[in-house]
């Protein structure tokens, strides 16, 4: 509030306070003319003005001239009550000490009520008039329903009124019986999720707004809007952020496929990660990939002194380098298997922390190229481990996958071998972190489905019963960094991925989020399992046990490690198979080295 508005408001308060004292005196004396004349002499009026100036000073102390009154609420009302109460107590003290003879003792108390009504009422009238002007100037674009008659819903309604949001809230949806037919800020609760479709149609609703992400409610909203493509689905951030004033409704976003996943939000505490990353040189292999690039972003925020962005694909390394150009990063193009170049990299930069995300991950492609999968995922990882040990790296965290559990694919078997190499060597601070699919990674199911939907379908699903674990990339990386703080040597950490999701349900929901109806607008075609694929994924191998760590979403795998010299003489045979590009030999050796590896190619 600028100085001129503060002065104008203070002058108005002085007038209202003096008028309040005069009116309080009249009420006390029943407006008797003789009595009124006695107490309204020029001397009394000077005292009245003194009381008004005292009140204005106290109002300043309580910040009543620094508040934006068009946003006034309970807090502002409390401040007004406290300021008036203190003013009244001081005035009453003066009356009791000296004014009692010439001024009625009860007048300050009566005046206090009038001051609250006058000064407080003037401010809340300012809020009402401001709200009306905002509504008149707003071009209402969409009639909206807010899901949730709770604190989050109340904040959304208030924010929609204040901001030039383009939404008019006409109703609330809530499943709780006790909330039916209630009103929040004049907005009625119209019903529950069960009759959401009817409410949308009857009230010409053009937008649904949800406070926070509750997967069950999101799925219900998506289902209700399945045949209503003109209805926009929006999510505002968490209720706690809204209530604390950290987020504004104008930053609401569209519902995303991540919102449909049945999992608890990950609580992120990065203090442990910061302890071993801050001020350190960090090497990230596969830095241009989905996981690798997010690790780069997060370790930069954690205060790494230098981040080495290493990868084989120049375009992806260039892109993440441009994104982080203001941070202390170095871009290095090198093949993980090139011993001379890798040695040069370690000699030059002397990394203290290594995150190993580089790998061949595409299951069907690795089924057709076993020797290449072994070369990159096994021998490349082994070279990295050896160099990291030689150059005294403090932490090395290798990213593994749920496909390494009782593997049926070449890719899964090679990742399991990487886990076993780490377990056998038990180098202090070196460990693996195992988790399932991440949403939005290149080549994953979500981008594939989106391309198929954009092309008009069909959306292809390999099997109606196929399930997968899913997690967002930032969540997975946050947990990986926290797991790194616990790494002791050779162990495997498993991230809690929540409940598995049926791929066909994911396809249907994504079609609905795209504004189409499954099977009607976009067909879904079941094409059968691809080579190496499983119907469902697991997170622990046969014979492995898990123990809970101090972080709720991370468990530690406990199993007898292989011998320290594992895989022994078989390692040289693997190298020979790779040198000769002998896919059959590479596949056969994987079958011999990886427990529980079952692959159809081995049966031939």
Q: Could you say which of 230, 255, 280 is where a domain stops?
A: 255
Rounded Cα gap, residues 6 and 243, in angstroms: 28
Query: Torsion-angle region of residue 538: left (phi > 0), alpha (psi -120 to 50) or beta?
Result: beta
Same-domain status, 276 and 410: yes
Rounded Cα gap, residues 428 and 489, in angstroms: 4
pLDDT at site 346: 98
Long-range contacts, 109-113 (Cβ 8 Å, 24+): 110/24, 110/27, 110/28, 111/17, 111/20, 111/21, 111/23, 111/24, 112/84, 112/85, 112/87, 112/88
* Residue of 232, 280, 395, 403 marked active site: 403
> How far apart, in Å, are the Cα atoms of 519 and each of 458, 480, 515?
9, 39, 13
> How far apart, in Å, are the Cα atoms of 533 and each of 352, 391, 407, 524, 536?
37, 38, 9, 19, 9
Same-domain status, 177 and 146: yes
Q: Could you say which of 105, 135, 165 is where a domain stops?
A: 135
pLDDT at site 268: 55
Same-domain status, 117 and 146: no
Same-domain status, 359 and 460: yes
- Inside any domain, residue 264: no
Express the helix, strand and coil content of the chain in percent, nearest 5 each: 50, 15, 35
Same-domain status, 552 and 439: yes
Same-domain status, 308 and 293: yes
Q: What pTM was computed for the model? A: 0.68
- Inside any domain, residue 261: no
Q: Which CATH number goes with the domain that contains 560?
A: 3.40.50.720
- Inside any domain, residue 260: no
Give the three-class secondary structure for 389.
helix
- Inside any domain, residue 263: no
Helix 583-593, helix 410-425: angle, nearest 10: 50
Rounded Cα gap, residues 525 and 185, in angstroms: 48
- Inside any domain, residue 213: yes
pLDDT at site 252: 64
Rounded Cα gap, residues 19 and 111, in angstroms: 9
pLDDT at site 243: 41
Q: Could you say which of 255, 286, 309 is where a domain stops?
A: 255
For this structure, is 403 an active site residue? yes
Same-domain status, 166 and 194: yes
The β-bridge partners of 281 are 306
Structure tokens at 350: 């002397």
pLDDT at site 16: 82
Residue 208's Cβ-side half-sphere holds a number of Cα atoms within 13 Å equal to 30
pLDDT at site 128: 66
Number of structural domains found in the chain: 3
Domain range for 80 is: 3-135
Same-domain status, 149 and 104: no
Rounded Cα gap, residues 292 and 481, in angstroms: 12
- Inside any domain, residue 361: yes
pLDDT at site 54: 84
- Counting as low any pLDDT under 50, the low residues of the chain are 1, 136-138, 140, 239-247
Longest dimension (CA), the chain: 118
Print the SS3 string covering 175-243.
CCHHHCCCEECCEEEEECHHHHHHHHHHCCCCEEEEECCCHHHHHHHHHHCCCCCCCEEEEECCHHHHH
Rounded Cα gap, residues 377 and 418, in angstroms: 7
Rounded Cα gap, residues 112 and 90, in angstroms: 12
Inter-residue contact 430 to 490 (CB < 8 Å): yes
Same-domain status, 295 and 187: no
- Inside any domain, residue 284: yes
Same-domain status, 208 and 63: no
Same-domain status, 183 and 315: no
Same-domain status, 436 and 548: yes
Rounded Cα gap, residues 13 and 21, in angstroms: 12
């Amino acid at each position: 509030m600028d100085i001129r508005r503060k002065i104008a408001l203070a002058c108005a308060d002085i007038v209202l306070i003096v008028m309040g004292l005069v009116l309080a005196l009249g009420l006390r004396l029943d407006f008797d003319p003789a009595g009124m004349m006695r107490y309204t002499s020029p001397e009394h009026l000077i005292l009245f003005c003194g009381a008004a100036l005292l009140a204005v000073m106290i109002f300043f102390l309580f910040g009543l001239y620094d508040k934006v009154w068009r946003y006034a609420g309970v807090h502002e009302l409390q401040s007004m009550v406290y300021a008036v109460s203190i003013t009244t107590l001081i005035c009453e003290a003066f009356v009791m000490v000296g004014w009692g003879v010439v001024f009625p003792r009860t007048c300050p108390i009566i005046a206090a009520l009038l001051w609250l009504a006058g000064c407080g009422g003037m401010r809340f009238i300012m809020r009402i008039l401001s709200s009306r002007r905002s509504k008149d100037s707003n071009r209402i674009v969409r009639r909206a329903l807010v899901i949730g008659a709770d604190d989050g819903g109340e904040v959304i309604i208030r924010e929609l009124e204040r901001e030039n949001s383009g939404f008019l809230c006409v109703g609330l949806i809530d499943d709780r019986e006790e909330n039916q037919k209630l009103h929040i800020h004049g907005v009625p609760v119209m019903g529950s999720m069960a009759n959401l479709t009817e409410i949308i149609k009857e009230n010409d609703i053009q937008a649904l707004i949800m406070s926070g992400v509750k997967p069950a409610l999101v799925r219900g909203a998506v289902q209700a809007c399945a045949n209503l493509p003109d209805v926009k689905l929006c999510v505002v951030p968490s209720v706690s952020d809204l209530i604390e004033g950290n987020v504004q409704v104008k930053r609401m976003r569209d519902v995303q496929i991540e919102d449909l996943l049945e999992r608890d939000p990950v609580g992120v505490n990065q203090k442990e990660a910061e302890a071993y990353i801050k001020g350190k040189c960090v090497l990230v292999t596969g830095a241009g990939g989905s996981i690798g690039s997010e690790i780069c972003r997060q370790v930069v925020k954690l205060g790494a002194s230098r981040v080495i962005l290493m990868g084989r694909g120049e375009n992806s390394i260039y892109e993440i380098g441009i994104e982080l150009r203001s941070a202390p990063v170095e871009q290095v193009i090198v093949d993980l298997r090139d011993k001379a170049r890798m040695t040069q990299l370690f000699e030059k930069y002397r990394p203290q922390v290594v995150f190993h995300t580089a790998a061949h991950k595409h299951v069907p492609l690795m089924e057709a190229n076993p020797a290449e999968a072994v070369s990159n995922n096994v021998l490349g990882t082994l070279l990295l481990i050896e160099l990291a040990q030689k150059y005294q790296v403090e932490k090395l965290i290798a990213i593994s996958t749920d496909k390494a559990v009782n593997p049926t694919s070449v890719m899964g078997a090679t990742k399991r071998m990487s886990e076993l190499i780490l377990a056998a060597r038990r180098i202090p601070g070196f460990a693996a972190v195992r988790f399932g699919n991440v949403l939005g990674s290149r080549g994953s199911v979500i981008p594939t489905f989106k391309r198929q939907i954009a092309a008009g379908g069909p959306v292809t699903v390999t099997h109606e019963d196929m399930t997968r674990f899913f997690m967002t990339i930032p969540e997975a990386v946050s947990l990986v960094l926290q797991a790194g703080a616990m790494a002791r040597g050779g162990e495997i950490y498993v991230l809690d991925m929540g409940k598995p999701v049926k791929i066909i349900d994911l396809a249907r929901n994504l079609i609905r989020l795209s504004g189409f109806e499954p099977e009607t607008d976009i067909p879904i075609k079941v094409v059968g399992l691809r080579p190496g694929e499983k119907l469902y994924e697991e997170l622990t191998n046969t014979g492995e046990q898990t123990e809970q760590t101090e972080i709720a979403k991370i468990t530690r795998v406990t199993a007898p490690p292989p011998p320290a010299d594992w895989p022994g003489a078989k390692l040289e045979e693997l190298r020979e198979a790779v040198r000769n590009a002998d896919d059959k030999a590479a596949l056969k050796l994987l079958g011999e080295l990886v427990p529980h590896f079952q692959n159809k190619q081995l049966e031939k």
